[in-house]
Chain A
Amino acid sequence: MPFSSLLHGLRRLGRWTLGPGQNEPLLLSARDDVEGRHYAVGYRLDGSQVFMTPVPQRCHAIVTHPVEPLAVFVARRPGTQSYLIDLRSGRLVQTLDSPRYRHFYGHGVFHGTGEWFYATENDTSDPGRGLLSCYRFDGSQLVREGELSTHGLGPHEVVWMPDGETFVIANGGIRTEAESRVEMNLDAMEPSLVLMHRNGELISKEILDLQMNSIRHLAIAEDGTVLACQQYMGGSLDPAALLGIKRPGQAFEAFPVAEAQRQAMAQYTASVAVHSTLRLVALTAPRGNRFFIWDLDSGGLRLDAPLPDCAGVGAVEDGFVVTSGQGRCRHYDCRQEKIAMRPLELPAGLWDNHLLLHA
């Protein structure tokens, strides 16, 4: 057998690629190794590694610059370092150190012009007071220039409305102190979904029924529909709605999740993603070891699948890609009525709760 045929066979058999698959989107995520060391990683979906940069602190979400081949890997709470990384090589361009009495909450956004970066932060001199730090991009570095209030406690994810000028902020409602992940106010949580203008002006502030239902992660459809997923801090039998939706011009309300799926989440969700073209919403529930997909408009269930310690989820052209803290990453082709799952040739396990697919 000629070498090239053997190579081709191998490639097809195991979906191994010996060269970088430039046409595949770049999967960006925080990941650990078995020794507990932290990395900022970039992989093509065919399994080829673009970079794996060691970083001192564990990161959470990734925010790409809209113009430059750069991304911020944001520290997971209560981390005090975020990392600006060159996506071509993985080179660490800059370490953002939190000032005194501040730490990151794992999420942020770049403004569409690329001139400003915003990150959710904790004011530990008044534990839990939510802030959005404002960093100006000077062409090579990020320079901290100011702060805005998030109008709530313990902010977590922040995203843009489609106008690119309105923040959507998930205020988790939980007070935590510096260097701690221990909740101080479970009896007096104040979770809220805030819409806020880029100048800091509050547009709206909404809550769900249960006060212990911490709003944490967000996804936005192209039409401005906001999806929010929650982590419930109360009893395991309480009927907490863990997926919320705010359709354009409407109030924030529970997404119509059936009881079987709601219970299967074990009161905890990790990541939510929207597919604007296929009109789908996907959700990972690592404590329940389940991955779900629903029709965004009808609320009909499309997939309820086992996936151990499922973590990050992101939309690709034909469906979704999901990572796992324990097992293999998966691709779900959602174009047909029957959703087809295919394991990806990426390293298994130890992926953090969020991923970003960078085209």
Chain B
Amino acid sequence: MFRPRFLLTGLALVLGACSPQDPQAQTSAALAEQVLLPAYSRWADADRALSSSAIAFCSGQEDLEKARAAFFTAQKAWAELQPLLIGPLAENNTAWQVQFYPDKKNLVARQVEQLLKTNSQIDKSTLDKASVVVQGLTAYEYILFDSNIELANAEQKARYCPLLMAIGEHQQTLAQTILAKWKETDGMLAQLSKFPNQRYADAQEAIADLLRVQVTALDSLKKKLGVPLGRQSKGIPQPFQAEAWRSESSLLSIAASLAGAQALWNGVEGRGLRTLLPSEQKPLAERIDSAYADSKARLDELQQQSLQYWLAEPTGIAKLNAFYDSLNTVHRLHESELAKALGIQLGFNANDGD
């Protein structure tokens, strides 16, 4: 016996999977256009400014304070991008060129000094061939902030400046190359907007990929806080294992990454992952909202001082641990409950292969 009603429903489903009415395709496209692409553009802008700043600082047209401000902007733009690390920048370990972290063995300081010892004339082409350890923001930060480097001394400034300018240029070129790959025909923006394509068989895969990078970044945030807090070293704080410890901008970076993760959740004008939850999942959506709010409130208070300040005394450590727990709640809600509610399997073999 034929069941025309069932068939029509089936047909609608098949057609629906390809049409713009598909909520997953809509959300993916909206996030790509309104959240991801703008964040990549801000990063490219910040790196362009970083490169100009290095040149201005080295030619004496800009003071150290301004040079450091340009670094903070670039570091923040990069941190915000980490939960959005999907596509070209996430591939071929390209992201290592942006920042070398964690740096357990202080490789950045050692390799920068080694490079300067063996190359008196460093430019972008020398740097392009050098290790990722010296190509990125961590090396840039080392030059501008390390206590052993005295940039007020003209001789020292002349020694480090060629590398500073080369890193600025390397970052600018890298960011522009990546941004171009987002915008090109059939590039990343298109691949998140029209399905199927060579990357995604359907919109569900794109949403899964977005959730995957968001969850990975939330997990990394826990490590970025947990390692200096000593959660992996018997409770003994490790302040020099923090991200961006030299510039004391660890909390600034964490705040930017958390904001990036929340942007995927909320979207612009409510067109984020949150909108994909069916109405019966409203309680879960509200729990995720309040988990972000709780985490952010704790971080706002912590940001009145540096991470190093809080690590130095027991009340500070207690506050950091409470913040860690709030981040853990955000992470777990995404990793388990949100993934399940959206029907997404995260890293079945990648995390537990054989």
Contacts and interface: CB of A to CB of B under 8 A. Distances in A.
Interface of A: 3, 6-7, 10, 13-14, 16, 32, 34, 60, 76-77, 106, 156, 216, 231, 237, 260, 263-264, 266, 268, 270, 286-287, 289-290, 305-306, 308-309, 311, 325-328, 330, 341, 343, 348-353
Contacts of B350: 268, 286-287, 289, 309, 325-326
B21 interface: no
A263 B261 CA distance: 26
Interface residues of B, number: 31
A350 B208 CA distance: 13
B353 A350 contact: no
A350 B346 CA distance: 9
Contacts of A341: 198
Main secondary structure of the interface of B (DSSP, over half): loop
Contacts, number: 98
Interface of B: 2, 7, 10-11, 14, 91-93, 132, 196, 198-202, 204-205, 208-209, 212, 340, 343-350, 353-354
B74 to A, nearest CB: 23
A305 B198 contact: yes
A190 B345 CA distance: 34
B346 A77 contact: no
The secondary-structure label for the interface of chain A is mixed
B92 A264 contact: yes
Contacts of B7: 3, 6-7, 10
Given A14-B14, A325-B350, A306 B93 contact: no
B192 to A, nearest CB: 12
Contacts of B201: 327-328, 330, 343
Contact of A309 (B2, B10, B202, B348): B348
Nearest to A327: B205
Contact of B91 (A264, A268, A343): A264
A122 to B, nearest CB: 13
A343 B200 CA distance: 9
Contacts of A290: 91
Contact of B93 (A3, A263, A286): A263
Given A264-B93, A326-B208, A353-B354, A32 B348 contact: yes
Contact of A328 (B205, B209, B344): B205
A353 B345 contact: no
B91 to A, nearest CB: 6
26 contacts: A10-B7, A10-B10, A60-B354, A76-B354, A216-B354, A231-B353, A263-B92, A263-B93, A264-B91, A268-B353, A286-B349, A286-B350, A305-B198, A305-B199, A308-B205, A308-B209, A309-B350, A325-B348, A326-B212, A326-B345, A326-B350, A327-B200, A327-B205, A328-B205, A351-B349, A353-B353
A353 B91 contact: no
The 6 closest A-B pairs by CB, nearest first: A325-B348, A343-B201, A325-B349, A349-B345, A328-B201, A286-B350
Given A325-B349, A326-B347, A34 B354 contact: no
A287 B353 CA distance: 9
